[in-house]
Structure 1
Amino acid sequence: MEKNDEHVVLKKEHVKKLNFKMKFCLLTACFMLFQLSANSLMSQKKMEFEYDNVPLKRILNEITSQTGYRFFYNVKEIDDKQKISLNINGENVREVMNELAVKANFDFKINENQIVLTQGKTTSHKFQEREIEGTVTDEQGTPLPGANIIEKGTANGVTADFDGNFSISTDNENAILVVSYIGFATKEVAVEGKSEIQITLSEDSAKLDEVVVVGYGTVKRSDLTGATSSVSTKDIEDQPSGRVDEVLQGRSPGLAVQNSSASPNGNINIRIRGSNSVNGSNDPLVVVDGFVGGNLNTINPNDIADIQVLKDAASTAIYGSRGANGVVLVTTKTGRSDSKFIIGYDTFMSYQTIRKKIDLLNAVEYAETVNARRAALDVALPFTMEDIEGFGRNGGTDWQDEIFRPALQQSHQLSVSGGTEKSTLYLAGNYLNNEGIMKGSSYERFSFRANTQVQINDRLKVGVNLFLFRSEDNPNISGGSQDAAPTHAAQVYAPTLPVYNPDGSYSQPSGQYGPPQLRNPLALAVEPINDNIANNQTLNTSVDYKLSKNLSAKVIFGYRSIHNENSFYRNTKPEGGASQSRASITNSRFTVLQNTNQLNYNKTFSEVHSLDVTAVYEQQREDLNSSFTGAEGFASDAFTYNNLALGSFPQIPQSNRTRKDIQSFVGRINYGFKDRYLLTLTTRYDGASVFGRDNKWGLFPSAAFAWRLSNEAFMEQFSKINDFKIRASYGITGSQAVSPYSSLARFDSNQGYAIDGSTYSTGVGLGELGNPDLRWEKTDQLNIGLDLAMFKNRLQFTFDFYNKVTKDLLLQIPLPRTSGFGSLLRNIGEVQNRGFEINLGGDPITGNFSWNTNANFAVNENKVLALAGDNEVTLGSVGFPNFGNTVFLEVGQPIGLLRGYIQDGVWRTDEATEADTFGAFPGAPKYIDQNNDGQIDNDDIANMGTTLPKATYGWSNTFSYKNLSLNVLLQGSIGNKLYNLTRVRTERASSDSDATDSRILNRWTPENQNTDVPSFLGSNNYEQLQTSRWLEDASYLRFKNITLSYMFPQDLLKRLNINSARIFLSGINLITFTDYSGYDPEASTNVDAFGGIDNAPYPSQKAYSIGLNLSL
């Protein structure tokens, strides 16, 4: 039997065929494995991109470029042009497609390296409108009354009731509800066809990610390395006012706002961290929507979206030569791209009265004190007992009541805002009218703002901001010479005189009724015509272009034209026909051209390094043209200032033109490492035409570092701390505290030359010496700060210490008379401002009843460090006749040091012998003999104090219950003094006038020796003028604003087709605690570096307002 072999023997050709098949199968298997591996790699590849409002097709192309997947779909089913926003950071293709499918409403299937898109099964469609009910609570289940619920992309919205319940109607089953509440993170909730929704809000931990505006850009609040503070639209809303600067008062640490003149369009002084300059302005630089050099007085508060105050060098050095006084950045409102157009109407009306009157003598008291003084002087008495009894019956004249009145202020604004995906628009027109509490004064303002932005394509965006402004101001003459200001006259005019004579003319002083130079107060208030018309046109255009994902460019062209015209006419009625009538017209036109070219690069590397680089080239030109014409001696008042040719004595016409050019190169680098260590480097290289030939350019660098300790691992154990950051910065900023051509000698023309000894001819002579060595004032500033946020940001604390030193201080230095010139502008010294700022705020109580609070406190010490070899420089007097030099600069002392005789009461009868050694007597003022030489002379003049405050503070509180809200703002200052010239005028009797102040009733007599008011003889014969007696403590605490508001419930408004409605009652300056005896502790006639001289400016007022905010 033959045995079969178990092995199969293959022939050679079979082997070849098998080898081919095996190779083919092996190759196929490898290819399949490779494909599976490739597909697996493709599907797991992580993607990173961010797109905002771009076509779907662009996102699909991005996915293809990053993964290799190709897309297949029917364009009739899938709209690849629909706009989608998507932010992807480390997600794979399936995760990305899941998110994208929801947004774009499609289904998808991944086949190897292909993705097939099909029409979604849940295509959004309109369905019958129905009610969606829900409740809004916090994480503990506490209802959040007043929470806002708005359907995204619409104006459809409601407010939760006391129990957190709400009901909202919608016709979109896929609607998204945006839910917000103060102190909590905003949340978006998808309806998804539900009829009941429970919404839980988390306390806001994202406040640190709030984007704030800084110079030439924005930055997250958590990434700030400099010292800044902000004023929100809520703050502005809570204080009805026609002026932005009034709203800033008490809101920010280190920002001192002084209402120096409370006239409807009066001066308000703003100081950030003290005064740096004596010769130039100490007001901060104002930047409105990127346009450098704005005016807060012209801005309508309702148009403001945000105000940022930049204080340290790290924040302000980017503005270089104009940043030394700090910077106020104003951003105006724009429309929302995700909102339909909303019509808004905002209005308020205020009833204003004088806050306080000076305590003056009435007619009986005045007549009795005049008689008493005449008796002491042993002269005839001017008033009989019958006269005095008659004054008691008719009351005499209260001249303050005659010139002051209750006055109305009203504001009306109509606005339209909204937008589409590609464009936004904000239009607003405002009308403001303020009658003024002094007769003869008024202010009227019209403004229009149009802000629009258009997204041309994915890369290009164009913006246009237009602002038109016109005001008509009719101010009274205040401060200055006492024969012109009604406030002066009302304080010293005899209350025994009537307003009008029997023939209807104004009464005039004569003889015993006062010095002849005084004028009837009412005539001074109402007779002069003082029309000031201002027109402002501002056009600011911007073009933003995204060069790449990380690089963008921005170009701004700005134009501003300001035309002011002052037309003045004063007839002879105030003087009773004793002087010439006079008229004048002054015109000025100020134009500004600005071009800003900016590049910005922003990128994050390896998720740990963040870099933001900004480069700017900017140029600005300022032109000023002004002219003056005037005449005196008009035969008739009929034409007032409308025909100057009718004047008998024409004045010499004058005209002037100046130009100022600035060019700048700017660079800034923001670097962050692991969101813990932050570095900011800034430099600006400025060139200005106003300085000498060799000093036109200046470099202004700064560096800042911040350490966010809260992001360190060792801080994880402190779970209650949300943010803890330490900041440090140092930099140099500048000030252009000179007018154009100050470095050059100036020739002036004049008609004061009588060449032949009798006939005056026009000539030209050297009017002012130039100083070719003029250079920038430069301020070095060191800042160390701390930011702390705790308890889910419900408590926030900020502390800053700073030291500012201003070098090359510019000052007019007196020249010898032999030079033929009075003074020369020079760089002569150094001034230091050093202090600290504290801000504490938060939401101590949330829920049914809520309380939001913010308190700030700032201390500033001002000191002159050097005066170019001299120990002191005289700045002048306080502006009163016969006063000697009173205001000085002295090394080691603050700017604006006041000097005078130090009064130590009044000599008593038992001090008669000692008084006689000084040439005095009982009842005369007692002055301190500083050098103990037994006499009172100029060597006894000593330092009396400074007018600068040592500290300022503010405290804002908002209490809310349901739809009711109460806001209370307190603010004040500590340590500032005012030189009260009103008292000099009213309390001191002289040879041709009598005291009118009620203090004179407490004058020294043998029976009343415990007083600091001298006797009639002491006041008349021995009293020195510049004395500490007139210097008063002007520290104060004021209830600046109290506003009670009510938001109408949404269920009511919805039936009326109203989006929102708020009504409010407000009181301004209702209560003030101060020892100052004048009109107001903030008053200041002079508005220079030191202020603090009260020469009877326009007094402040209390205001009671009612208003309405409505949107449709």
Structure 2
Amino acid sequence: MKEKIHCRLSPAIFSCDFSTKQKQLIKKALLVMRIITVIMLVFTLHVSANTMAQNVSIKKQNITLKEVLKELRAQTDYYFIYNSKEVAENRVVSMNFVNTPIDVVLNSLLKGMSLGYTIEDKIISLKPVKEPQANMQNAVSQDRTITGKITDGEDGSPLFGVSIRVKGSVNGTISNAEGNFSLTVKPTDKVLVLSYIGYVTKELPLTALIKYEVSLAKDSKQLDEVVIAFGTSTKAELTNSVTKISAKDIEQRPISNLNSAIVGASPGVQATAGSGQPGEGPDIRIRGFGSITGDNAPLYVLDGAPYEGVISNINAEDIDNISILKDASATALYGARAANGVIMITTKRGTSGKNNITAKLTQAFSNRGLPNYETLNAYEYFPVIWEALRNGALGTGVTPTDSLNAANVATNGIKNYVGWNPFNVADDEIVLGNGKLNPHAKLLYPDDLSFGDELQQLGMRTDMSITLSGGTPKTDHYVSVNYLDENGYVKGSDFKRFSGRLRVNSTPSDWLKFGLNVFANYTKSDQANESSGINENPFYVDLILAPIYPVYKHNSITGAYELDAQGNKIYDVGDYRPLFTGRNVVYETMYNVNQVRRNSVNAVSNVEAKFLKDFKFTSNLSVNLGNYRSNVYDNSVMGDAVGAGRTTRTNTLTSYLNFNQLLTWNKTINRHKISVLLGHENYLNYYDYLSGSRRGEGIAGLSVLDNMTTTTALGSYDRDYKTEGYFSKLDYSYRSKYLFSASFRRDGSSRFAPQSRWGNFWSLSGAYNIDKEPFFKVKWIDMLKLRASYGEVGNDRTGNYFTFQRLYTLGYNNGTE
């Protein structure tokens, strides 16, 4: 508000007896006084205008009037004065206002209390109001009370806390937890204004009805917001290829690894089958493979900072949305790390209002996703083997005698060829001379001829989480605790995760915001031997091994299980088998150890400051500390370490820091919208590796290194990896119809030689929203956009070795060897 204040003092009141010098001093003093007076008056008017426009937010149920006044005092500069005898301090009220002018709050608060108020400077005085009885009766006879219910336009659920106000008046109320409201209106009131955060404001014409059913539609502008590189945009103003996955798409699925949420969510994103281990997910490839020998994994960005941790560490319940940046124009701002696409992960935050506590328990089951190949059973297997032996023995013979001799060779030699006879008939009577299975042959132990059945189980998954969220207009918070226990469908495989997250955001003033997001987790996983050699891989062994060999030892006459001194079944070593001789994949899976433990702490802090109206400065600092420990043990009874036992321990430490500074300028001139971004980013990664192997155990089953006698391997190294980048971006929009964007980044990576360390990456993109043209009136098309883009990005993920160092075996930061 601008005010012109004129102030004039007449010099005639001063005597002419003063000397000229004294008069000059007096004139200067008067001039200073005039300036000070003007400044004070302008400041007073300015403060008065601002204070009258102060907004407050308060959402509390069943609190006293005194507590409400105390809360209003805390949020504003006002002092409250009243007579405790005239004001019922302990009267209980309920308040639900968000960013509402204080006069509206006071009118609602004092309604029905026969109280009024006056505002003078910084003081609000509460006084009783007495109206003439005649006027009150006249007002009652003319006013009427209307009721209604407000619901969500999509699912019909009631909306709590919707502001209902008479247009052009301070008269209003809010809806309760059931969405119902009641409001007294005057005959002159024509329209109600209904507003709610996240929904489109609606104007409701008042008719002769006294009850209204109203539904509010969600604000598409908020729903269409998409997280992009170093900022946000809307679907309408995007000039590049970005796909958004919302929390609603994730929360109904039993997901242990976020990569599973991306599968099938976007065109151009492929998922390759993962290991199937509990806690593991598929490998994600955005628009195919970018390198034959290099890394093809996308870059993950968590809450604005690159994330190099394990994806399974992130609790899916904490995710608010995921944006997949697919083309070069969308990812160019990440320069040398963006060749394989970028996946932006945004976690949940608290919302203004009452605290919400959510508890969730999910119980799920899992089994093999793809059925096994169709295979022969024992009754079908022997005739096929007999035929192969007969054909081999027959050779080029064509006479009946040749055929008979070949059949006898096959019949008599079939047991020696396969090494085992699971039937109740003699070894040379399993298959008759005509190639048919002996009709009297019965399996001695039909329930113990499948290693796969013995290894598989019904996988169970338990996911428990508790979240607390809420906040005030100036501060919000989100706290979550999660426990996940997943047992795979292969015995000996499981995944356990304990995680917690704390996110706090504060806005102490209109121009300053800051936030802190901290999460920590601990995971423990027992791995099935799917990545081991062929002799230990349960899936491979189950496919290759004929369905005639038992898992446990049996009596050769009765087929009964042989038991040890404790009454337990004895595993069959299989010395007679032509394949996997002396091995039993079930025993090795159960008694070998392949265990991984991880713990990590990740913290992201940010600060945002607005200045000079159109400028905004943002800085993000991300720190991560992670530990990894692998314990691999092979037993001494059966397998690769028979007679000795061996163990390998691997420990790694990973820490990284990412720090960026962003300066943005946003300006709207008539229908032209311009946005400029300037930024700088540093990334530092430290990796420390230590591994040792020993064999020759002293105590059977004890997997620690001290239990072994002979060291077979020992090694360690560390590695520093750094990047630095300078970048900028220009976005232009005319009427949200014609769009243009350009970006540039200069990146340096320590993985390359000093003379080749820096690279330039850039992009250009444009779009034309045809649906915004007046001539476009196709109701069944929501959006029609023509888009084109071009960009250049890089990939510095060359592995642990630095590509410019020639002696790779000494290439781990070992100076100048």
TM-score with structure 1 setting the length: 0.53
Aligned to 1:686: 747
Pair 1:619–1:348, CA change in 2 (3 A)? same
Aligned to 1:745: 806
CA contact 1:186–1:201 (8 Å) conserved in 2 = no
CA contact 1:147–1:180 (8 Å) conserved in 2 = no
Specify which of 634, 641, 646 is matched with residue 697 of structure 2: 634
User: How many residues are treated as equivalent by the alignment?
Assistant: 640
Amino acid aligned to 2:788: A
Q: What per-residue deviation string (whole Å, max 9, x for no partner) do you get for residues 313-371 of structure 1?
A: 2211111111111111110000002x111000112101222232333333333344444
Aligned to 1:291: 305
Aligned to 1:827: none
CA contact 1:745–1:770 (8 Å) conserved in 2 = no
The DSSP-based 3-state class of the residue aligned with 2:754 is coil
Aligned to 1:319: 334
How many Å apart are 1:407 and its aligned residue? 1.9
Specify which of 407, 411, 428 is matched with residue 459 of structure 2: 407
Specify which of 645, 652, 656 is matched with residue 706 of structure 2: 645
Structure-1 separation of matches of 2:209 and 2:590: 68
Amino acid aligned to 1:318: L
CA contact 2:363–2:460 (8 Å) conserved in 1 = yes
CA contact 1:426–1:452 (8 Å) conserved in 2 = yes
The DSSP-based 3-state class of the residue aligned with 1:573 is coil
Amino acid aligned to 2:493: S
Specify which of 303, 307, 310 is matched with residue 325 of structure 2: 310
Pair 1:464–1:202, CA change in 2 (3 A)? closer
Amino acid aligned to 1:231: I
How many Å apart are 1:196 and its aligned residue? 5.4
CA contact 2:746–2:761 (8 Å) conserved in 1 = yes
Q: Does 1:386 align with 2:386?
A: no
The DSSP-based 3-state class of the residue aligned with 1:729 is strand
Q: What per-residue deviation string (whole Å, max 9, x for no partner) do you get for residues 368-389 of structure 1?
A: 4444444444452314761662
Q: What per-residue deviation string (whole Å, max 9, x for no partner) do you get for residues 417-438 of structure 1?
A: 0001211000001110011110
The DSSP-based 3-state class of the residue aligned with 2:583 is coil
Q: What per-residue deviation string (whole Å, max 9, x for no partner) do you get for residues 1009-1033 of structure 1?
A: xxxxxxxxxxxxxxxxxxxxxxxxx
How many Å apart are 1:257 and its aligned residue? 2.0
> Which is richer in strand?
1
Q: Does 1:256 align with 2:270?
A: yes
Aligned to 1:674: 735
Pair 1:372–1:521, CA change in 2 (3 A)? farther
Identity %: 23
Structure-2 separation of matches of 1:101 and 1:456: 19
Query: Where do residues 386-535 of structure 1 align in structure 2 (5 Å cutoff)?
Result: 386=425, 389-391=441-443, 394-501=446-553, 502=562, 503=564, 504-511=569-576, 513-517=577-581, 519-535=583-599
Q: What per-residue deviation string (whole Å, max 9, x for no partner) do you get for residues 776-807 of structure 1?
A: xxxxxxxxxxxxxxxxxxxxxxxxxxxxxxxx
The DSSP-based 3-state class of the residue aligned with 2:317 is helix
Aligned to 2:50: 58
How many Å apart are 1:648 and its aligned residue? 2.9
Aligned to 1:360: 375
Amino acid aligned to 1:519: R
Structure-2 separation of matches of 1:451 and 1:692: 40
The DSSP-based 3-state class of the residue aligned with 1:341 is strand
Specify which of 568, 573, 586 is matched with residue 637 of structure 2: 573
CA contact 1:320–1:685 (8 Å) conserved in 2 = yes
Aligned to 1:707: 768
Structure-1 separation of matches of 2:816 and 2:282: 32
Aligned to 1:585: 649
CA contact 2:148–2:214 (8 Å) conserved in 1 = no
Structure-1 separation of matches of 2:575 and 2:344: 55
Aligned to 2:793: 733
CA contact 2:575–2:581 (8 Å) conserved in 1 = no
Amino acid aligned to 1:467: F
Structure-1 separation of matches of 2:315 and 2:152: 37
Pair 1:505–1:489, CA change in 2 (3 A)? same
- CA root-mean-square deviation: 4.2
Q: Does 1:234 align with 2:248?
A: yes
Query: Where do residues 62-461 of structure 1 align in structure 2 (5 Å cutoff)?
Result: 103=104, 132-134=147-149, 146-152=156-162, 167=180, 186-187=200-201, 197-201=211-215, 206-207=220-221, 210-294=224-308, 295-337=310-352, 339-355=353-369, 356-378=371-393, 380-382=413-415, 383=421, 386=425, 389-391=441-443, 394-461=446-513
Pair 1:614–1:373, CA change in 2 (3 A)? same
Amino acid aligned to 1:278: I
How many Å apart are 1:57 and its aligned residue? 5.2
How many Å apart are 1:701 and its aligned residue? 0.7
CA contact 2:146–2:211 (8 Å) conserved in 1 = no
The DSSP-based 3-state class of the residue aligned with 2:290 is coil
Q: What per-residue deviation string (whole Å, max 9, x for no partner) do you get for residues 411-466 of structure 1?
A: 00001000012110000011100111101111101111111111122222110000
Specify which of 599, 608, 622 is matched with residue 663 of structure 2: 599
Structure-2 separation of matches of 1:209 and 1:531: 43
How many Å apart are 1:156 and its aligned residue? 7.9
Structure-2 separation of matches of 1:664 and 1:507: 61
The DSSP-based 3-state class of the residue aligned with 1:602 is strand
How many Å apart are 1:632 and its aligned residue? 1.0
Aligned to 2:604: 540
CA contact 2:149–2:214 (8 Å) conserved in 1 = no
Pair 1:771–1:484, CA change in 2 (3 A)? farther
Pair 1:331–1:196, CA change in 2 (3 A)? farther
Pair 1:83–1:283, CA change in 2 (3 A)? farther
Amino acid aligned to 2:161: E
TM-score with structure 2 setting the length: 0.71
Structure-2 separation of matches of 1:688 and 1:701: 17
How many Å apart are 1:170 and its aligned residue? 11
Aligned to 2:59: none
Q: What per-residue deviation string (whole Å, max 9, x for no partner) do you get for residues 3-57 of structure 1?
A: xxxxxxxxxxxxxxxxxxxxxxxxxxxxxxxxxxxxxxxxxxxxxxxxxxx9985
The DSSP-based 3-state class of the residue aligned with 1:260 is coil
The DSSP-based 3-state class of the residue aligned with 1:542 is strand
Structure of greater relative contact order (alpha carbons < 8 Å, 6+ residues apart): 1
CA contact 2:174–2:181 (8 Å) conserved in 1 = no
Gaps (5+ residues) in structure 1? Answer: 1-53, 63-75, 85-98, 108-114, 124-129, 139-143, 160-165, 750-765, 773-1112
CA contact 2:475–2:507 (8 Å) conserved in 1 = yes
Pair 1:456–1:608, CA change in 2 (3 A)? same
Pair 1:341–1:80, CA change in 2 (3 A)? closer
Pair 1:527–1:82, CA change in 2 (3 A)? closer
How many Å apart are 1:178 and its aligned residue? 5.9
Structure-1 separation of matches of 2:338 and 2:294: 13
CA contact 2:718–2:813 (8 Å) conserved in 1 = no
Q: What per-residue deviation string (whole Å, max 9, x for no partner) do you get for residues 569-620 of structure 1?
A: 1112333984531101000111111111111111111x12211111110000
Amino acid aligned to 1:620: Y
Structure-1 separation of matches of 2:744 and 2:300: 20
Pair 1:131–1:261, CA change in 2 (3 A)? farther
Structure-2 separation of matches of 1:538 and 1:315: 26
Structure-2 separation of matches of 1:549 and 1:720: 40
Pair 1:423–1:354, CA change in 2 (3 A)? same
Query: Where do residues 30-69 of structure 1 align in structure 2 (5 Å cutoff)?
Result: 58=50
Aligned to 1:939: none
Structure-1 separation of matches of 2:538 and 2:707: 28
Aligned to 1:1010: none
Pair 1:395–1:190, CA change in 2 (3 A)? same
Amino acid aligned to 1:679: F
